[in-house]
Every structure is written in structure tokens, then in C-alpha cells.
């Protein structure tokens, strides 16, 4: 070595760069993230893509030309360019796009407005408002659409007329009762909590001095909003936009209930149909088109952000948040918000809770109240002898499994999201960073069922160092983490982007290792975002069903798979009891997170 | 990683608008592609076996699997006593079921045969096919007993014929079993239900429909509901069966209107019926319950297509409805709840014992049958008394032809989608 001639400067620089890259934890994290994503997402997606170009034995059902095992473009041409395409693909795509865009826009208005109110004004009852904002998300979205029908149902679909019709004798027109309008509204109500949390976290960590400085320099309030606040919020807003767009485009329950009566189909409902009719390849083609749409959306997102992508709002300097005084609007604003949110959040909840105590649904006479559905024994006259939920022998097992899955998955997902977010934020000008960012978004587009089906094959046998996970709880945790990546990585990335690199540089100068930096600096500073990711994933995991139903074995039964049985039997009250238990658990976890997440959380999420 | 060549690892340009640098954002896709191809190559090495979808694997293992099936089927001769002895050693039975009735049967079974634990997983029929196929392809043989509905013949074609689900009928019970479930059908069905027309009993004194073509008349314009056949294949199976038996449909048309059917650009009377149904303002709802809510909750002159088994929920739901059990040319096509052994069942004796239990044992009196013998469903055993007014033999049903349905169903589905 010693005798080695001095390298020329070019080589030296190159070598330095390599060494630098190896030593920089950013690249290690990025590489790990890419490996993880490659195995858990890219590989399943490639499987999907591959399957759409090959004939299967099943395809003899579609055309006699099928030649199993050989390559074909038939599936794509059938979806994109046949006499079926308009009804099967283009119309549903247009519907999906219009729903997606409108829902994102509406949620943005709801979510940002609420976030601003809670974090930047002196409105009272902040904690209550924050809490209420989460409730719609706790309820399954189809339940909100059911509530919509209770009010706006007209005579088209028969049954008990909606309240508007029966009480006020106003017949709501079809467009108000079914299809586009109600789908958009219920989805917006359900999902705007994402906006609220993402933007709320960003707003609360933004230093008011920026605004004050601008005001001192003579900027008007609108100007401050437009030139300072909005650009700073842009990354979070766009993250939220994409997130909700994708969620809306791929939602199934709501469009199925509100869309079918008026023939309003979206790609997701078509996809579900292909799946159920065992036209697996058609389903795969449809889900790939969904993926293409997202990629396009993400691309536009990046275009919009351009180079201005990140603004640092956490700088390490003292950040005093001054609240905008609402003056005489203070009380009306609080009252209006609370009342409005109570109407969409609390009323459906109370109706459901009440229902669990009613022996026969709909009658409020005193002798109709019962605890049977909660804790009653077997009574042949009620639900053909089905016991109350708490008496169900598998209830305890299911409860335990649900808690383990949601608990571990949410912590893991939040931390992984933060790490990947670090790779995205710090590596934002590298191909690696962008790749992590984009790949992490895919899981929303692989239908839960297909992902689960592929996971059975991938994890049924040990591969390399990965043991056979099928049949264990681990695989359910894994798939939950993967499925929530789009959200957690976005949240983690948005949080990381706001933390100035000079803080880390200072720590490096101070001799802190990367791990110390992460633990002492990044983690505490992004705690708010971390906690909101944790809570949302926890809720999602507690509610998840479609994704895990294929991976569940009798020993890994969860609370939601328990309801599957109740729903099928039409035991409404029992279903609602389980739902109430799930909600109670989530609320408890939320309360704990608020308590132990301490000051920062309350500050970010409202309160003093 | 290639263009990570900014001076230090901590990327510095956070404040500076970098403008055109973002043109690099799309090459990310290229990198993904390269990575993808690489992965594809490695992967092709490790396993050709079908990964997505179900399918292609069915060809390969068929041979070996079939023989296993044969032995299982052949050994339908054990006595329940011998099975119990054996089953106690096995300790448990794993059941995959589309129906919650399995849970009820499991409970009584465990009382009757202590020492055997029955674990029931509830899965939809199409998901169960994927799940079992993937499991078996990966060499995992988890379930013992399969309780499933058909999915337009796919269960027969993709699961029963390749030997993934194995037919089992105890010899001593076979003689009591009604055809087609004794020898002709793909397996024994412990119960069957079907899609038929329901009407509101407050509005109609007697069945308002006697012929399927009644639904296309002005009297029922905008007053026919159905659960969405696009999301519940069992509904599509009824329409597909009408297409397969288009001659019957044409005859019924003639009987109703007194003249030969005139096709309006459709292939046959079955398709013509679907088209006329749509032209008459068919309202599609999400599920069977929604249909019955629509016609049964309040006085209504509308009728709806729903599952016969739903009559057992009438009291619970407060519906005033009745199903119609005699429609021309045929009322419907059966939707059977089949019982199968799974291929290479890990607990064969327990599995067989549990199937016997659900079948009601030798005399058909066993408690295990109770959950299946309900109003609206029929048990195809000659020695079991039905709770319905009409006996199974007297039901005027088309035969469920799995193979024909399997190949015809996608076409009918396409036709349905195009009506939108």
C-alpha cells in the first residue's frame, strides 16, 4: 500500500465519494429500504405484471384461442381495446378519476381548515375538536354511506324511505341520493382526517416568526398566507392530496353501496367483480392500470413541487407559535365546528351504540333494552342461539391477536415510515430517494386480496434467511406494515423535510453517531408526526379485513374476522358490539398516546 | 445512487430551488425497471410455479393428487366408532367454510365427541380457492374439511377435478342421499338454496309472478330489484343458466305471450331476457339483504331477486316477504353448500367424522345437521324432513351444470357489463 503511487485527483475524488457513500447512513438506510421494498412490493407487482401477459388454463373460459403457458396480449387488449373496454374500463376510470380529484379537493378544504383552526388560532375546545376529527375515521366508511342513505334515500331503492322523504316530504333527486355526490361526500368526511393530521403537524411546527417577519415588512394577511404559509405547507398538502386521491380511487365499500343503484361503477368495483368472478387476470390488469394512474399522479406531484420541494420549518431556533385571535368569532367558530363535527361523527356512533342494546332493532320501548348481545348466553329465540360477543369462545383469542397485530404493526410502521422518510427527504435529489418515495406508494394499488394471495406463496416456505411465515401472526403484521407504507413514508418524509440539515450537521460536528442523532434529534423532533402515523396505522390495523382474511388461520383469528361471521349471518347488533369494542380500544390507545406523548403531541394536535 | 455526487452526504440544497434537476425524477422509473428485470431473472430460477392468480399450477400436480383423492373416496366405509378412536389421536379438525353454519355444527360436534377440537376459518368461496391452491402448491396442507359454495363451476373445474378438494360420501349414508348429490354432482352438498323472486306479503295476497317473463311487462317497470350479479357470482349463475337453457326460456315466452320470441340483436332467449329486464328499469342493489330491505321493510308493489335462505332471517329483520317457489320455465338453479375433504388432509379420521356429523349421521337425526336444515334451505337426504312447505324433489330447478357454467359465465358477465 505504502508504495502505491499517489492517485490522481480524479480518482481520489471518486474514491472519497465512494467511501463517503458507504459511511453515510443515508445510503445504508436507502439501500435497506430498497431491498425491503423490492421484496415486499416490487416482486409481487412483477408477479402481477407477468401474469397479465401469459395465458392460463382458466382463460379458456374467455376465448378458445387460449394457449396455457404462452405469452399473449389478449388480456390487455380486452381491457383497453375491445368492445368491452368502454363499460369495463374507460367509464369506470373516468368515474374513479373524477371521484378521486373531487374527494382530495374537498378533504383538503375540510382538513386544512380544521388544522388551521386548531393549530393557528385561539379557538377554544381544541382537544375536543381534534378528538372529534378522528371519529369518522374510526367508523367503517360504508357505515357513513349507510347513514347517508338513512337521510337521503328516495323511492328508487324502496324500503323505508329516508328521513328527508318521510318527515319533510321532499323527494331527494337521484343525484343527491346515489352516485357521485354522496360517494364524494362520505369519502371526504371519512378521509379528511389524513389531511388534518399531516397539515396540522406541519403547521404546528412552523415558526410564527416567519409570518411575523412578513407582516412587519408590510405584507397583508392574504399575502402572508399566500406567500409564506401556503408554500411552506405545500409538501404536506400535496402528500395529503395524493394519499387521499389514491385511497378514494381504490375504495370499494362506499361506491358499491351508493353507486350500484345508478350504475355508477369505479375501477375498484369492477376489480372486485373480476376477482369474485374468478377472472383473476382481468383483475390484475385493472389493478395495474390503477397503479399507472397513481404513478402519473405522483409524477405530477413531483412536478408541482419541483425543486422547491422542501422548506425547513424546524430550525432549532426557539419557535413561538402565536395564535391568530379570532375575536368575536372565537365562540361561534368553536360552536359551529363542534356542532358540525358532532353531527357527522357522534350521531352515527351513538345510533350504533344504542343499537347494541336493543333486542329488536328500531324499537325504543324499555322492555326492548338488553345486554344480551354483549354478554348474554345462548338463547334459541335470539339469533338462533348465538351467544353474546363476550361469551364467544374465540373472542378472547381474537382480541389478543388484534391487539398484538395492531400494536406491533403500528409501532413498526411508524418507525419504518420515519426511516424511509429520512431516505426520501435527505436523498431527495438522488435516484434512490425518489425510488423509495415512489415504490412506497404502490401498496395502495395492489388490491389487498391479490397482495395476500402472493404473500401466501412467498412466505409459505422458508426462503434464504426468511422463515416460513404463513400461518403466523408475523405475516399479518408484515402485510399490515407494507399496506400502510404509503401513508407512513409520506408522513415520515414530510416530517424529515422540515427538520433542517444544519441541526444534524451540528450534531455530527459534536461527534454524535448517526444512531444518537436519530434517537436524540430526529425522533424527538418528529414525534408528532410519528405519533399520528402510529395512531392512524393502529386504527387501520384494527379495522383491516380484506387484506388479512386470506392470511388468517383459526389460530390467528382477529376481531374483524370475527365480525365477518356475524355480518354474513346478518347479526347486526353483534357486529356493532365488536365495532364498539374496537372503537373503545382505539380511543383508549389514543388517550394513552396523548398522555404519554406529552406536551408536543397536545401542541401539535390542539390544546394549549 | 449514481448522481448522489453532491459534496457531502447530507444533501445541502434544501433552500435553493434546484430547478431543472428534477428532470431526473423520471429516470427513477427506469431504475425501477432495471431492478425489476434483475429480480425477475433471479426469480425465474427459484420457482416457475404460478404465483399470481390460481391457475397454471393445476396442470402439474394433478396426477399425484388424483390418486390421493381416490384413496380418500374409496375409504368411505369406516364406522363412526373406528373413526372416533382414530380422530381422538389426531386431536383436531381444521375447517375452511364459506358458511357460518359450520361454527354451529362444530359446537355440537365437540360436545358429542370430546377430545377433538374443531377450528373453523370463515373465507369466501373464491378466496378459499386461491388460499387452498396457494397453500397446497407450497406444500402446506392445512385444512381437513372444506365447506363451500360453487363459483360458476370454478370449484369443480379448478379444485375438484385437479383433486384439491376431494369428494367424500360415507357408504352407509349414500343410499339416503338424493340425486344429483349421490353420484352425479361434483360432491355431496349438505344443503342447497337458490335465487328466486320475493314479494311483499302486505301488498300481494298471492305470488304476483308465475313466469320469469312477467318481470319484463309494464306492470313491473322499475319495480324489479336484484343483488348485483357482478359482485355476487351466484346471482350471475342464475342468468347464465337461463342462457344455457335458452330453449326453456323461449318456450316460457311463448306460453306467456302466445307468440314466438323475437330477438332484438341478442343471441338467444336467455340474453334477450336479460336485455328486456334492463329495458324495463331493473334496479341493481349491492346485496341480497339490500333487496329484501327494499321490498320487505314497508308496503311495496315491487319484487326482488334474493336468496331463498334469507327467509330464515325474516323475523330478525322485520321483513314482510315470501319467496316464490314455482316460476316458469324453472324456478331457479341450486346453489349448493358442498362438503369436501381437503387434499392430503392432516386429520383424515376427524375430518370424516365431522362430515358425518354435519350430514346428520346415519339416521339423519344427528344434531350436526340442525344448522343446515332451515327454512329456505333444503337437505338433499330422502330421510330428512324439510322445514319448507315444498319438498326437495318437488322443487322445479334447473340442474347445476358446472362445466357449462364455467365456460359460459364470462360471456354472460360481459353481456351484463355492456348493458350499463
**Model pLDDT, residue B238:** 96
Residue B376 distance to chain A (closest CA, Å): 14
Which residue does chain B place closest to A359, by CA atoms? B316
A-contacting residues of B 149-168, CB under 8 Å? 151-152, 154, 158
B 339-368 near A (Cβ less than 8 A): none
Name the B residues in 79-118 with CB < 8 Å from any A CB.
Answer: 94, 99-100, 103-104
Alpha helices in B75-214, H assignment, sequence order = 80-90, 101-112, 125-137, 154, 171-174
User: Which of A289, A213, A456 has its CA nearest to residue B53?
Assistant: A456
User: Is A430 in contact with B3 (Cβ distance < 8 A)?
Assistant: yes
Instruction: Verify whether the Cβ–Cβ distance B122 to A69 is below 8 Å.
Output: no
Q: Where are the domains of chain B?
A: 59-186+335-393, 193-333+412-418
Q: How far is CA A380 from CA A385, A390, A563, B357, in A?
A: 4, 17, 20, 21
B291 closest CA partner among B335, B226, B340 = B226
* Interface test with chain B among A40, A278, A512, by most B beta carbons within 10 Å: A278
Name the maximum alpha-carbon separation found in chain A.
98
Cell of A173: 333527486
Going from the C-alpha of B283 to that of each of A591, B80, B374, the distances in angstroms are 46, 50, 29
Rounded to 10 degrees, the C-alpha dihedral A575/A578/A579/A582 comes to -160
Question: Which chain A residues have a beta carbon less than 8 Å from that of B12?
Answer: 501
How far is it, in rounded angstroms, from Cα B98 to Cα B145? Answer: 11
Domain boundaries of chain A, sorted by first residue: 84-268+328-342, 369-608
CA distance A388 to A566: 11
CATH architecture of A84-268+328-342: Orthogonal Bundle (1.10)
Q: Is the dihedral of CA A300, A302, A308, A312 positive or negative?
A: positive
- Give me the DSSP letters along B316-335: HHT--EEE----BS-SB-EE
Q: What's the confidence (pLDDT) of residue A321?
A: 62
Give pTM, 2 decimals: 0.80
By Cβ distance, the residue of A58, A157, A260 closest to B55 is A58
| Pairwise CA distance, residues A563 & A389, whole Å | 10
Residues of chain B with Cβ-Cβ distance to A260 below 8 Å are 228, 284-286
Residue partners of A189: CB distance under 8 A and separation at least 6: A110, A136, A144, A344
Q: What angle do CA B209, B213, B214 make, to 5 degrees?
A: 35
The fold for domain A369-608 equals: MetI-like fold (1.10.3720)
Q: How many residues does chain B have?
A: 420
Chain A within 8 Å of B121 (Cβ-Cβ)? Answer: yes
Rounded distance, CA A63 to CA A555, Å? Answer: 42
Flag if A460 and B135 touch (Cβ within 8 Å): yes
Q: Does B193 touch chain A (CB under 8 A)?
A: no
CB A295 within 8 A of CB B5: no
* CB-CB under 8 Å, B297 with A160: yes
CATH assignment, B193-333+412-418: 3.40.190.10
Q: B232 — contact with chain A (CB < 8 Å)?
A: yes
Alpha carbon of B252: minimum distance to chain A alpha carbons (Å): 29
Q: Choosing among B21, B53, B307, which should be mutated to test the A contact, i.e. which has the most A CBs within 10 A?
A: B53
State the cell numbers at A410: 403500528
Q: Specify which residues A324 forms β-bridges with.
A: A121
Q: Please give the DSSP secondary-structure letter assigned to residue A184.
A: H
Give pLDDT, residue B59: 37
**B297 vs A159: CB contact, 8 Å cut-off?**
yes
Q: Strand pairing partners for B145?
A: B95, B341
Q: Which H or E run includes A149?
A: helix A141-152
The per-residue pLDDT for range A517-563, each reduced to its tens digit, is 888 888 888 877 788 788 888 888 888 777 787 787 777 888 888 87
Neighboring chain A residues of B124 at a CB cutoff of 8 Å? 276, 549
**A122 three-class SS:** coil
Q: Can you tell me whether residue A543 is helix, strand or coil?
A: helix
DSSP A162: P
Residue A60's CB is within 10 A of a number of other CB atoms, namely 16
Which residues share a beta bridge with A200?
Answer: none
In a mutational test of the B interface, the residue from A61, A87, A272, A559 whose CB has the highest number of chain B CBs within 10 Å is A61
Q: For residue B5, which residues of chain A lie inside 8 Å, CB to CB? A: 17
- Dihedral of CA A242/A244/A245/A251: which sign? positive
Nearest CB to B21 within list A58, A427, A429: A429
Instruction: Report H helices in B286-401.
Output: 288-296, 314-317, 348-359
Q: What residues of chain A score a pLDDT lower than 50? A: 1, 309, 316-318, 599-608
Using an 8 Å CB-CB cutoff, list chain B residues near A256. 228, 231, 286
Grid cell, residue A239, equals 402528500
Query: How many CA atoms lie within 13 Å of B369's alpha carbon, on the beta-carbon side?
Result: 24
B314 has a chain A CB within 8 A of its CB:
no
Give chain A positions within 8 Å (CB) of B198.
none
Chain B, nearest residue to A431 by Cα: B28
Closest to B72 in 3D by CA, of B346, B380, B379: B346
Name residue B197's beta-bridge partners: B305
Phi then psi for B117, rounded to 5 degrees? Answer: -100, 130
Select from A453, A505, A565 the Cβ nearest to the Cβ of B122: A565
Question: For position A408, what pLDDT does the model report?
Answer: 94
Closest to A114 in 3D by CA, of A341, A323, A303: A341
The answer to whether B14 and A310 are in contact (CB under 8 A) is: yes
In whole angstroms, give the CA distance from residue A251 to residue B173: 48
Record: contact A430-B32, CB cut-off 8 A: no
CB contact under 8 A, B16 and A362: no
Do B52 and A284 make contact, defined as CB atoms within 8 angstroms? yes
> What are the φ/ψ torsions at residue B98 (nearest 5 degrees)?
-85, -15
Rounded Cα distance between B144 and B117, Å, is 12
Residue A548 to chain B, least CA–CA distance (Å): 11
DSSP assignment of B383-419:
TS--SSSS-GGG--B----HHHHHHHHHHHHHHHHHT
Q: Which own/partner contact pairs does A378-384 have at CB distance under 8 Å and 24+ positions apart?
A: A383/A569, A383/A571, A383/A574, A383/B316, A384/B104, A384/B312, A384/B371
Here the cell at position B98 is 364459506
Residues of A in contact with B6 (CB under 8 A): 429
B51 — contact with chain A (CB < 8 Å)?
Answer: yes
Residue of A429, A507, A508, A551 to mutate, testing the B interface (most B Cβ within 10 Å of its Cβ): A429
Nearest CA in chain A to B225: A157
| The pLDDT value given to residue B43 | 39
pLDDT at residue B2, as a whole number: 38
Chain B residues in contact with A156 by the CB 8 A cut-off are 283
Burial B239-261 (b: 16+ CB within 10 A, else e): bbbbbbbbebbbbbbeebeeeeb
Residue B144 sits at the chain A interface (C-beta within 8 Å): no
Q: Which pLDDT belongs to residue A107?
A: 92
* Chain A nearest C-alpha distance from B129 (Å): 9
- Cα distance from B408 to chain A (closest Cα, Å)? 7
Is the CB of residue A231 less than 8 Å from the CB of residue A269?
Answer: no
Determine how β-strand B165-167 pairs with β-strand B145-148. unpaired
Chain B positions touching A56 (Cβ under 8 A) are: 50, 53, 55-56
Q: Do A58 and B11 touch (CB under 8 A)?
A: no
CA distance A200 to A404: 29
Q: B358 near B189, Cβ under 8 Å? A: no
Chain B, nearest residue to A570 by Cα: B313
Kindly determine whether residue A46 and residue B36, on different chains, have CB atoms separated by under 8 Å.
Answer: yes
The answer to whether B29 contacts A438, with C-beta atoms less than 8 Å apart, is: yes
Closest by CA to A518, choosing from A491, A499, A494, A490, is A499
ipTM greater than cut 0.90:
no
DSSP at B338: E
Determine the distance in angstroms separating the CA of B171 from the nearest CA of chain A, rounded to an integer: 30
Cell, residue A544: 383491516
* Dihedral sign from CA coordinates of B149, B154, B159, B160: positive
Cβ contacts from A onto B, under 8 A: 289
Unique residue bearing C-alpha cell 387434499:
B343
- pLDDT of res. A597: 66
Half-sphere exposure of A180 (CA within 13 A, CB side): 11
CATH superfamily of domain region B59-186+335-393: Periplasmic binding protein-like II (3.40.190.10)
User: Per-residue DSSP letters for A63-79?
Assistant: -TT--TTSB-SHHHHHH
Distance from CA of A280 to the nearest CA of B (A): 5
Instruction: Give the side-chain half-sphere CA count within 13 A for B184.
Output: 8
Task: Report the distance separating Cα B177 and Cα B174, nearest Å.
Answer: 5
Show the low-confidence residues of chain B (pLDDT under 70).
1-75
| SS3 state at B311 | helix
Closest CB to A158 among B99, B104, B300: B300
When CB atoms are compared, the residue of B9, B40, B285 closest to A46 is B40
Report the chain A residue with the minimal C-alpha distance to residue B59: A57
Read off the C-alpha cell for A253. 365499500
**What does the angle CA A280 – CA B52 – CA B338 come to, to the nearest 5 degrees?**
60
Give the minimum alpha-carbon distance from A47 to chain B in angstroms, rounded to a whole number: 6
Amino acid at each position: 500500500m505504502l508504495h502505491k503511487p499517489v492517485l490522481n485527483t480524479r480518482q481520489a475524488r471518486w474514491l472519497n465519494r465512494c467511501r463517503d457513500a458507504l459511511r453515510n447512513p443515508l445510503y445504508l438506510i436507502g439501500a435497506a429500504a430498497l431491498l425491503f421494498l423490492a421484496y415486499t412490493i416490487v416482486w409481487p407487482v412483477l408477479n402481477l405484471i407477468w401474469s397479465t401477459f401469459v395465458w392460463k388454463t382458466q382463460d379458456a373460459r374467455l376465448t378458445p384461442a387460449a394457449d396455457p403457458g404462452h405469452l399473449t396480449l389478449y388480456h390487455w387488449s380486452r381491457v383497453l381495446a375491445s368492445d368491452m373496454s368502454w363499460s369495463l374500463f374507460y367509464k369506470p376510470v373516468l368515474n374513479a378519476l373524477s371521484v378521486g380529484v373531487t374527494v382530495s379537493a374537498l378533504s383538503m378544504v375540510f382538513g386544512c381548515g380544521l388544522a388551521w383552526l386548531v393549530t393557528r388560532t385561539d379557538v377554544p375546545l381544541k382537544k375536543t375538536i381534534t378528538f372529534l376529527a378522528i371519529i369518522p375515521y374510526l367508523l367503517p366508511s360504508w357505515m357513513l354511506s349507510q347513514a347517508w342513505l338513512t337521510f337521503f334515500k328516495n323511492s328508487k331503492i324502496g324500503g323505508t324511505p329516508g328521513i328527508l322523504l318521510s318527515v319533510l316530504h321532499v323527494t331527494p333527486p337521484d343525484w343527491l341520493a346515489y352516485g357521485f355526490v354522496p360517494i364524494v361526500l362520505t369519502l371526504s368526511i371519512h378521509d379528511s382526517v389524513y389531511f388534518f393530521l399531516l397539515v396540522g403537524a406541519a403547521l404546528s411546527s412552523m415558526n410564527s416568526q416567519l409570518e411575523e417577519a412578513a407582516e412587519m415588512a408590510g405584507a397583508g394577511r392574504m399575502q402572508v398566507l399566500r406567500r409564506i404559509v401556503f408554500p411552506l405547507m405545500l409538501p404536506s398538502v400535496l402528500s395529503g392530496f395524493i394519499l387521499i386521491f389514491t385511497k378514494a380511487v381504490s375504495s370499494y365499500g362506499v361506491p358499491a353501496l351508493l353507486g350500484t343503484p345508478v350504475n355508477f361503477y369505479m375501477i375498484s368495483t369492477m376489480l372486485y367483480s373480476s376477482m369474485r368472478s374468478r377472472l383473476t387476470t382481468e383483475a390484475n390488469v385493472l389493478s395495474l392500470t390503477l397503479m399507472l394512474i397513481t404513478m402519473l399522479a405522483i409524477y405530477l406531484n413531483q412536478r408541482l413541487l419541483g425543486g422547491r420541494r422542501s422548506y425547513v420549518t424546524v430550525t432549532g431556533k426557539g419557535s413561538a407559535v402565536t395564535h391568530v385571535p379570532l375575536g368575536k368569532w372565537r365562540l361561534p367558530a368553536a360552536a359551529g365546528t363542534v356542532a358540525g363535527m358532532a353531527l357527522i361523527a357522534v350521531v352515527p356512533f351513538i345510533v350504533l351504540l344504542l343499537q347494541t342494546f336493543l333486542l329488536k332493532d328500531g324499537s325504543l320501548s324499555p322492555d326492548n333494552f338488553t345486554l344480551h348481545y354483549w354478554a348474554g348466553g345462548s338463547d334459541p329465540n335470539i339469533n338462533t342461539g348465538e351467544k353474546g360477543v363476550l361469551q364467544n369462545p374465540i373472542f378472547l383469542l381474537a382480541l389478543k391477536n388484534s391487539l398484538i397485530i395492531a400494536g406491533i404493526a403500528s409501532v413498526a410502521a411508524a418507525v419504518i415510515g420515519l426511516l424511509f422518510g429520512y431516505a426520501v427527504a435527505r436523498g431527495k435529489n438522488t435516484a434512490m430517494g425518489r425510488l423509495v418515495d415512489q415504490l412506497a406508494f404502490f401498496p395502495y394499488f395492489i388490491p389487498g386480496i391479490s397482495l395476500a394471495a402472493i404473500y401466501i406463496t412467498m412466505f409459505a416456505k422458508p426462503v434464504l434467511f426468511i422463515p416460513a411465515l404463513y400461518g403466523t401472526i408475523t405475516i399479518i403484521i408484515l402485510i399490515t406494515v407494507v399496506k400502510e407504507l404509503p401513508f407512513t413514508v409520506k408522513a415520515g418524509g414530510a416530517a424529515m423535510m422540515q427538520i433542517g440539515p444544519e441541526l444534524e450537521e451540528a450534531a455530527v460536528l459534536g461527534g454524535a453517531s448517526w444512531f444518537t442523532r436519530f434517537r436524540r434529534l430526529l425522533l424527538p423532533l418528529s414525534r408528532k408526526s410519528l405519533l399520528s402515523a402510529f395512531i392512524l396505522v393502529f386504527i387501520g390495523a384494527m379495522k383491516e379485513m380484506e387484506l388479512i382474511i386470506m392470511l388468517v388461520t383459526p389460530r390467528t383469528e382477529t376481531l374483524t374476522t370475527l365480525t365477518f361471521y356475524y355480518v354474513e349471518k346478518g347479526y347486526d347488533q353483534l357486529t356493532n358490539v365488536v365495532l364498539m369494542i374496537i372503537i373503545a380500544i382505539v380511543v383508549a390507545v389514543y388517550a394513552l398516546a396523548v398522555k404519554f406523548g406529552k406536551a408536543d403531541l397536545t401542541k401539535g394536535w390542539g390544546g394549549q | 445512487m449514481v448522481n448522489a455526487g453532491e459534496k457531502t452526504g447530507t444533501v445541502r440544497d434544501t433552500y435553493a430551488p434546484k430547478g431543472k434537476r428534477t428532470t431526473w425524477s423520471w429516470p427513477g422509473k427506469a431504475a425501477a425497471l432495471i431492478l425489476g428485470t434483475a429480480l425477475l431473472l433471479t426469480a425465474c430460477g427459484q420457482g416457475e410455479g404460478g404465483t399470481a392468480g390460481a391457475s397454471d399450477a393445476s396442470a402439474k400436480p394433478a396426477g399425484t393428487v388424483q390418486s390421493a383423492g381416490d384413496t380418500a373416496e374409496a375409504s368411505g366405509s369406516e364406522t363412526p366408532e373406528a373413526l372416533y378412536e382414530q380422530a381422538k389421536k389426531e386431536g383436531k379438525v381444521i375447517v375452511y367454510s364459506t358458511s357460518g353454519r359450520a361454527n354451529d355444527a362444530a359446537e355440537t360436534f365437540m360436545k358429542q365427541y370430546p377430545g377433538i377440537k374443531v377450528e373453523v376459518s370463515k373465507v369466501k368461496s373464491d378466496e378459499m380457492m386461491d388460499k387452498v391452491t396457494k397453500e397446497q402448491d407450497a406444500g402446506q396442507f392445512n385444512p381437513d374439511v372444506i365447506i363451500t359454495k360453487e363459483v360458476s363451476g370454478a370449484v369443480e373445474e379448478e379444485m375438484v377435478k385437479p383433486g384439491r378438494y376431494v369428494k367424500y360420501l360415507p357408504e352407509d349414508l349414500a343410499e339416503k342421499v338424493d340425486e344429483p348429490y349421490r353420484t352425479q354432482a361434483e360432491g355431496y352438498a349438505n344443503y342447497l338454496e337458490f335465487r328466486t323472486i320475493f314479494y311483499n306479503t302486505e301488498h300481494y295476497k298471492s305470488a304476483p309472478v308465475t313466469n320469469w317473463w312477467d318481470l319484463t311487462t309494464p306492470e313491473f317497470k322499475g319495480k324489479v330489484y336484484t343483488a348485483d350479479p357482478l359482485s355476487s357470482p351466484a346471482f350471475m349463475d342464475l342468468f347464465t343458466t337461463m342462457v344455457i337453457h335458452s330453449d326453456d326460456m323461449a318456450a316460457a315466452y311463448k306460453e306467456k305471450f302466445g307468440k314466438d320470441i323475437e330477438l332484438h340483436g341478442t343471441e338467444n332467449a336467455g340474453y334477450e331476457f336479460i336485455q328486456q329486464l334492463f329495458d324495463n328499469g331493473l334496479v341493481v342493489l349491492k346485496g341480497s339483504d339490500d333487496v329484501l330491505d327494499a321490498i320487505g321493510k314497508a308496503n311495496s308493489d315491487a319484487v326482488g331477486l334474493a336468496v331463498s335462505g334469507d327467509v330464515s332471517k325474516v323475523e330478525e329483520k322485520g321483513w314482510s316477504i315470501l319467496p316464490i317457489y314455482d316460476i316458469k320455465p324453472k324456478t331457479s338453479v341450486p346453489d349448493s353448500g358442498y362438503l369436501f375433504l381437503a387434499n392430503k388432509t392432516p386429520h383424515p379420521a376427524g375430518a370424516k367424522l365431522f362430515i358425518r356429523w354435519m350430514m346428520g349421521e346415519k339416521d339423519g337425526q344427528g344434531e350436526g345437521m340442525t344448522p343446515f336444515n332451515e327454512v329456505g334451505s333444503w337437505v338433499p337426504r330422502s330421510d330428512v324432513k324439510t322445514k319448507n312447505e315444498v319438498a326437495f324433489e318437488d322443487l322445479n330447478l334447473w340442474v347445476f351444470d358446472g362445466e357449462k357454467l364455467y365456460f359460459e359465465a364470462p360471456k354472460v358477465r360481459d353481456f351484463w357489463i355492456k348493458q350499463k
